[in-house]
Amino acid sequence: MHPTLPRATRTLGTVAATLALILGTAATASAAPAQAPAASRTADTSDAGLYGAADPRFDGVYRQGLAILGLRAVKASVPSSAVSWLVRQQCPNGGFQSYRATAAACDAPNPATYSGPDSNSTALAAMALRSVGRTKQAARATSYLRTLQNSDGGFAYYKGGSSDVNSTGLAVAALRPQAGSTAVATRLARASRFLRSAQLRCSAPAQDQGLLPYQPAGPANSLASAQAALGLTTTLPAKVRRVSSDRLTCRDGKQVGSVSTRNALLAGIATTLRAGNGTAPSSFGSGPDISATAQMAIALAAAKQYPGTVRTAVRALKANAAEYTGAGSEASPAALGTLLQVAAVTPNTTPSSFGGVDLTKELRSSIRR
């Protein structure tokens, strides 16, 4: 029997996240960016086209991106109002902040107050806009995203902040479709080196080997590992493409042979999911992290690796689907969009009956009119 997720932990947000509203984990909201300027953080009562009834101030763009990507992953249409809402959120510099009222200017980026355009919102918006053919806006978003890469190769949550694995993983996923450009390929290579430098290898406990922390030298983090795996493997909506398979081998605390960062990570998250009977542990409290579990499943399925582990994870996701996604006024568009992406890349998985939830119907009914 799979553990279910408490209702209070279904909120999905960005990496501010790792600090507060982070994708379905058990983190508290005490670290939420409450100091952000009020002008652009005030919810707009005319948010037609936005998915979800919950306050969008800390995750509006992020959840809209996941919702649109989920619909496109299963080849469902996206209402023009949903796309228009996202386009209106774009800042003049091409970036996206978590939310801004229609008439408000974008905030200046400030990592101390969690305000202004951020890498997580911008990455999700870029991938969502690309998926609906808004290539001009997507290109402007990825141009801004590139300005957030630090000298260590990692990406910061906000310009001027330190690199973190979650932001790097999402940024790499958003930039991956542009890998044919020499300049972008160079940036991706630098980001991969940052992830490799942060990866827990043979000096770490056996259960953590191959995983990644939120920031270098930290403990293994489920969501960081999941989002890095997405970036190293695919973009969103995920493209299924078999990758080579090998895993980290350690002997007496030392690595034997060579293995890529991606493959060591995929093996590590497969081990994590098996140990949790299909779920990843929360890095911010007790219980499972269903969002990290879903993103791990997407990465493994996209790479066509560890199919048995993916099936186990999907069973766990179905067991938690009703509580995780909510319904009616409490429906989580980010959770629904994430599970739609799981359904799109896993065989014999029906979006209209995912653990008893009609994911597409629930998501469509959550849009503001």
Q: Which long-range contacts (CB under 8 A, 24 or more apart) does 256-264 make?
A: 261/192, 261/195, 261/196, 261/199, 261/232, 262/229, 262/232, 262/233, 262/303, 264/199, 264/201, 264/209, 264/210
Confirm if 323 and 4 have CB atoms less than 8 A apart.
Answer: yes
Residue 174 has pLDDT above 90, yes or no: yes
- The dihedrals phi and psi of 55, each to the nearest 5 degrees, come to -55, 125
pLDDT computed for residue 162 by the predictor? 97
- Domain assignment of residue 326, yes or no: yes
Residue 357 has pLDDT above 60, yes or no: yes
Residue 182 has pLDDT above 70, yes or no: yes
Residue 19 has pLDDT above 80, yes or no: no
Q: Give dist(CA 67, CA 107) in Å, integer.
A: 24
CA dihedral 217, 195, 231, 67 (to 10 degrees): 20
Give per-residue burial for 15-43: e unless 16+ CB within 10 Å, then b. bbbbbbbbbbbbbeeebbbeebbeebbee
Place of tokens 């989002």: 227
Can you read off the two tokens belonging to residue 53? 């009834």
Give per-residue burial for 218-243: e unless 16+ CB within 10 Å, then b. eebbbbbbbbbbbbbbbbbbbeeeee
Confirm if 12 and 63 have CB atoms less than 8 A apart.
Answer: yes
pLDDT computed for residue 46 by the predictor? 80
- How far is the first Cα of the chain from the last one, in angstroms, to the nearest whole number? 39
pLDDT computed for residue 189 by the predictor? 98
CATH of the domain at 304: 1.50.10.20
Confirm if 121 and 96 have CB atoms less than 8 A apart.
Answer: yes
- Domain assignment of residue 2, yes or no: no
Question: Quick one: which of 158, 124, 164, 155 has its CA closest to 141?
Answer: 124
- Domain assignment of residue 320, yes or no: yes
Residue 97: in which H helix or E strand, if any? Answer: none
Q: Coil, strand or helix: which one is 13?
A: coil
- Domain assignment of residue 62, yes or no: yes
pLDDT computed for residue 40 by the predictor? 57
pLDDT computed for residue 43 by the predictor? 72
Helices 165-175 and 119-131 cross at an angle (nearest 10°) of 20
Domain count of the chain? 1
- Domain assignment of residue 5, yes or no: no
The domain containing residue 264 runs over which residues? Answer: 10-365
pLDDT in tens, 301-347: 999 999 999 999 999 999 999 999 998 889 999 999 999 999 999 99
- Domain assignment of residue 257, yes or no: yes
- 17 or 80, higher pLDDT: 80
Provide the percentage of residues in the chain whose pLDDT is more than 90. 83
pLDDT band at 41 (very low <50, low <70, confident <90, very high): low
Q: Give dist(CA 272, CA 281) in Å, integer.
A: 8
- 102 or 83, higher pLDDT: 83
- 33 or 186, higher pLDDT: 186
> What is the DSSP secondary-structure string of 285-331?
SSSEEHHHHHHHHHHHHHTT--HHHHHHHHHHHHHHHHHHH--GGG-
Average pLDDT of the residues in 84-99: 97
pLDDT band at 285 (very low <50, low <70, confident <90, very high): confident
pLDDT computed for residue 102 by the predictor? 80
pLDDT band at 27 (very low <50, low <70, confident <90, very high): very low
Average pLDDT of the residues in 198-211: 96
To the nearest whole number, what is the mean pLDDT of the chain?
Answer: 90
Question: Quick one: which of 2, 86, 53 has its CA closest to 315?
Answer: 2
- Domain assignment of residue 182, yes or no: yes
CA distances from 279 to 49, 132, 221, 225, 317 (A): 33, 31, 13, 13, 8
Task: Count how many Cα atoms sit within 13 Å of the Cα of residue 279 in the half-sphere of its side chain.
Answer: 23
User: CA angle at residue 132 from 126 to 137, to 5 degrees?
Assistant: 40
- Domain assignment of residue 4, yes or no: no
- 186 or 22, higher pLDDT: 186
Q: What ranges in the chain are assigned the alpha helix state H?
A: 38-41, 60-73, 80-88, 119-131, 135-146, 165-175, 182-198, 222-233, 261-275, 290-302, 307-325, 333-345, 359-365
